[in-house]
Amino acid sequence: MPRFCANLTTLFTEAPLLDRPALAAEAGFEAVEILFPYDVDAKALGRALAQADLPLALINCPPPNYADPAGPRGFAAVPVEQERFRHALRRSLRYVDALGAERLHIMAGLAEGPEAAGVFAENLAWAAEMAEGRQLTIEPINPHDMPGYFLDDFSVALALLEETAAPNLGLQFDAYHAHRITGDVAGTWAAVAPHVRHVQVAGAPGRHEPLAGEIDYPSFFSQLDADGYTGWVSAEYHPRRKTQDGLDWLTYY
């Protein structure tokens, strides 16, 4: 069975961030991820995680002001933002080390074309070298939810991983995004599974609880088990109501 992880950026938002690790542990999650922990004191957050006895599975390389709808969605593939990306990567690695985060997701940003592809590959190679001893991921994000995001195709992601050939760089597989990109979660997983280092889930449509809907999660989780996936499966969804009122799916699986 999957090892479930709670995304504390989208779950338990009824409480302050520093209170959410304890709520996640009480609910039965075995780890947490936080998209952008950079506005919280790292020492205080580390204490909250330690008190809840939960590892931090993943954080994102930070686009500042992500909550702003007009703000950047990362900038690792944006040609004019290489220095900004490298500054952000160094900052992220400090948080990775301070919090013991297991993985760092590198966000590509809004860009297109061959120049963006070259910049992204160059930045990923540089990041992998800078992050020696730490684990990085890249994630295809569907163009319906995030129009213009550079990495919106799994074949492009695989090509980047092959070109970079860095042992500490892998794929982040979000089943919700896979469904919206390809319409075939099971087939997409089968094509990319050897490269996957982290999994995220949400229901479709609506990106709510991963229970009923267009994605057959019982079958998907069985597929993960059959393929020997032992990493985290993170609940990155938007609860329909209060988080605790929608956690029946966690005991269902």
Catalytic residue positions? 139, 236
CB of 234 within 8 A of CB of 196?
no
Helices H, strands E: what count in the chain?
A: 9, 8
What would the two tokens of residue 244 be?
Answer: 């605790």
Tell how strand 169-174 and strand 103-105 pair up.
Answer: unpaired
Give the Cα separation of 183 and 157 in Å (integer): 17
Token pair 């982040």 in the structure block, residue: 172
What is residue 171's three-state secondary structure? strand
Give the Cα separation of 207 and 213 in Å (integer): 10
**39 φ, ψ to 5°?**
-95, 5
What would the two tokens of residue 86 be?
Answer: 């490298």
Strand-pair partners of 235? 6, 201
